Homo-oligomer: A and B are copies of this chain.
Amino acid sequence: MIEVEVKAHAPQDKGALEEKLVEIGARRVGEEFQEDVYFNAPHRDFAQTDEALRIRKVTDESSEKIFITYKGAKMDEVSKTRKEIEVGVEDSHKVADIFQNLSFRPVATVRKNRTIYSLKDLVITLDEVQKVGSFVEIEKEIEEGNDTQEALDEIFATYSKIGIEDGFERRSYLELMEI
């Protein structure tokens, strides 16, 4: 699966932004806390190859879910479009233990509150990232091999509708945290 994704700095007035999202037909899906532990590889430097490997713990009111996520290098110059593979696992400590026995090293932990909206086949998230700041992300998943431009056009048109025309950010939260 390819994740076509564009991130922007959030405007100051979060309330007004959420109102606009509802106006254009977005549906509030929920809110969750995410804790991502990023690992680097022993045989290549993911900061150089632009890959990512993480264990994500997602907590909401009713449950805790754990995922392993691999992200490939970004595929264009304007967005964060990249290959993404995510799989649910039953225990984060055991996965971390396996990674470390394979000589992968935990390099950083990113914690955020994420409010999720859905608009047709787009997912729009408002993120409050600890030590980094507030961001809006709009994302669409497409099959590998499909053209990403159509999805990008749809994403930027949606940004425009909610009044965001600049302040786009290609760097990951991990990269922003390390500045």
A116 to chain B, nearest CB (A): 21
CB interface residues, A 85-114, toward B, < 8 Å: 85-91, 94-95, 97-98, 101-103
* Oligomeric state, in copies: 2
Which of B42, B86, B94 is close to A85, meaning CB atoms less than 8 Å apart? B94
A68 adjacent to chain B (CB < 8 Å): yes
The SS class assigned to the A binding surface is: mixed
In the complex, the answer to whether A87 meets B85 with C-beta atoms within 8 Å is: no
Q: How many residues of A contact B (CB 8 A)?
A: 24
A70 within 8 A of B: yes
B44, B53, B83, B87: the one contacting A94 at CB < 8 Å is B87
**CB within 8 Å for A88 and B90 given contacts A43-B42, A43-B103:** yes
Q: Is the CB of A70 within 8 A of B98?
A: yes
**Cβ proximity bits A68-83 to B, threshold 8 Å, 1 near / 0 not:** 1010100000000001
Contact partner of A101 (CB less than 8 A), chosen from B42, B72, B87, B102, is B72
Q: Does A41 contact B (CB under 8 A)?
A: yes
